Structure 1
């Protein structure tokens, strides 16, 4: 079975042209026939900056997909029932049978809190485990977050996908720690290629990654440049194949 998986930091739908435009995010996902998508920087009734929209609800409806959401930041709104939230999300063509949001337990008053969203997705033949996170730029906290993610994600017998905006460089110490346990789809596809995802208009560095367990076979991996103005990051897409149990 083939599975097309994308990770995309959507910058709350705000493009490099400073416009909030969720339809173009949906169009990129639809055009590339994605089955499972991990999204970072997703607003949910957050503020005027994203028109108080439940962005993952909107995208799921527009694409006819199932979704899971996990906030990194959540605070009561003054005049609304819904909390203002910002975080990670998963879209899936297949049923999501379980979801859980793990807030990292080492916030600092000076730094934005982060989280790890977990989902079990039921494919026709088996279940897979999908995780999405957005890691800190602070090196000390980044190390702790990597350890936290590995502690949780290595605990499962199902095929596993761990993705998101990792704010690290390929072949860095942090990257090596994750790549020891999981396959980096870009390296498996072609280690000589450069998979820069940021900044979107003139990409210089790779910040976004998809890691998979060894029971998933990487058929291809590419950075999608079809509409670079849709966000400040470019999406990363991989085609995986898995053997049915």
Structure 2
């Protein structure tokens, strides 16, 4: 097997336009694309508790993949908030990195090696901060996590990258030249490419798209990417 599908989506706490907590519709939309690995941001068990449903970190893991890791950036008496990486295949050498910057909102990154029929792929999944100085600090940490690119390498998530000069995008493209180019925010009328998928080696990204049906479920559109590891 040499072709895999990756997906990233900021699910906005599983709140639709109503707003109404609806994790089932999030699961249905993700499952429809059958990703081999998916990064999800803004998972919020605090809202799930208020809606009297199960922990979304556990629900998403059980529904979407055999392997996964959750990174809880905020933990309170009411529940947790953070992100998850869920995979069809085993994840090894997994670490959760603290990217928090000064007094800004806590941020995390997940680094791991996904081991499948194709061999091993280095993956970093994250949700970066809102300020320019915050993201500049965080992207250098991401580059260190990506390592020496001894094999296929993937970075994906919500990078909150509004600007081009000195941007996360420019720094990641230096080492991961293949990348998605979709505007994902706001979902109803996308103007900004806040979310992304970046790949090495060049030529391995054979196609990518968004799903407009996500507009009723989140303020971000997901990105779905097909990757050919023989290229």
Give the TM-score normalised by structure 2.
0.89
Asked if 1:71 is matched to 2:58, the reply is no
Asked if 1:168 is matched to 2:155, the reply is no
Q: How many residues align?
A: 229
Preserved contact between residue 107 and residue 128 of structure 2 (Cα < 8 Å): yes
1:177 is matched with 171
Which deviates more, 143-152 or 56-65? 56-65
2:226 is matched with 239
Query: 1:125-145 CA distances to partner (integer Å, 9 max, x unpaired)?
Result: 311111111111111111100
Query: 1:199-241 CA distances to partner (integer Å, 9 max, x unpaired)?
Result: 1112121100111122661110111113311111000111001
Q: What are the ranges of 5 or more consecutive residues in structure 1 without an aligned counterpart?
A: 79-83, 188-194
Cα distance in 2 for partners of 1:105, 1:28 equals: 31
Asked if 1:125 is matched to 2:118, the reply is yes
2:192 is matched with 205
Cα distance in 1 for partners of 2:46, 2:22 equals: 15
Q: What are the ranges of 5 or more consecutive residues in structure 2 without an aligned counterpart?
A: none
Change (3 A) 1:152 1:50: farther
Ranges of 4+ aligned residues in structure 1 off by more than 6 Å: none
1:221 is matched with 208
Asked if 1:153 is matched to 2:146, the reply is yes
Change (3 A) 1:47 1:201: same
Cα distance in 1 for partners of 2:91, 2:36 equals: 12
